Amino acid sequence: MKKALKAVASAAMLATATTASATPSTTYWTPSTPYTQPFLVPHLTYDTYFGEKDAYPIDTGLTIGILPFDTINAEIGADVLYPGDTKTTFSVNGKVTLVEGKLASWQPAVSAGVANVGFKKDISDLYLVHAHVGKTFPVIGEIGGGVYTALNDKLLVDKNGNKDATGFFLHWMGPEFQVGLPGLKKIVPAADFQSGNNVLSAWGGGLYFYFTDAIDLLVGPVFFLEPEVQPGNKSDWLFTAQIDIDFDLRPAKK
């Protein structure tokens, strides 16, 4: 369960596009999920978004859980984006989560974090603050939503250049469908939505193909709500393919 910026002017748009996909734990396109990496379990991701004429820079990211508690989890991560015409190719993220059901059986998961934190004083650093709730239900899986705002509000604008830096999320992580083949263990559907008229505003859905519990491939389309602020001022949608690998650094239990 892992795994979203572009501007109006072409040059600025291409620069911000490369910072769009800093990868805290995500559902599909957005960071709208209460899932957080377990303690000392790094998550390596290789994310691509591409179409017939346009593409985002490739995002290679690493996220790891940093708290050894059952009730409260936290993660930190970093991303490098390449290639792309941008001054910022490195950013960091972090999130803290109250794990579902730890205080009471009915209690949803609650999380808050920040993503796309760059280190140059220009519009390529978004500082996206986000918060979420989510609850798992029998049969249908985990559903939830949240809110976001950009502390650098010069980035998130509509096609007319007006500020559009705040909105909401919806997400769904479906149930696991066990396959049990030698090369394919299970398939998990996922979908999410991010409101607004900015470059992050989109919806999409796809499938996680788990080859093992620690290695998966996510594939599917992302449809943009404001194509005119996407690369080339014309991208209605892009296809994503994301490779995810977890590896456990926790000491073996005796």
- CA angle 7–194–94, rounded 5-degree value: 85
Give residue 88's pLDDT. 57
Give residue 144's pLDDT. 98
Q: Write out the two tokens for 138.
A: 């029998």
Question: Which letter does DSSP use for residue 177 in this model?
Answer: E
Domains of the chain: total:
1
* Mean pLDDT rounded to a whole number for the chain: 87
Question: Is residue 50 included in any domain, yes or no?
Answer: yes
CB 156 within 8 A of CB 150: yes
Question: Is residue 5 included in any domain, yes or no?
Answer: no
Question: Is residue 51 included in any domain, yes or no?
Answer: yes
Per residue in 112-134, pLDDT (tens digit) is 999 988 877 654 578 999 999 99
Question: Is residue 241 included in any domain, yes or no?
Answer: yes
Which range of residues forms the domain containing residue 194? Answer: 10-246
Per residue in 188-219, pLDDT (tens digit) is 999 999 999 999 999 999 999 999 999 999 99
Q: Where residue 232 sits, what CATH number does that domain have?
A: 2.40.160.40
pTM for this one? Answer: 0.88
Roughly how many angstroms between the first and final C-alpha of the chain, as a whole number?
A: 29
- 3 state SS of 218: strand
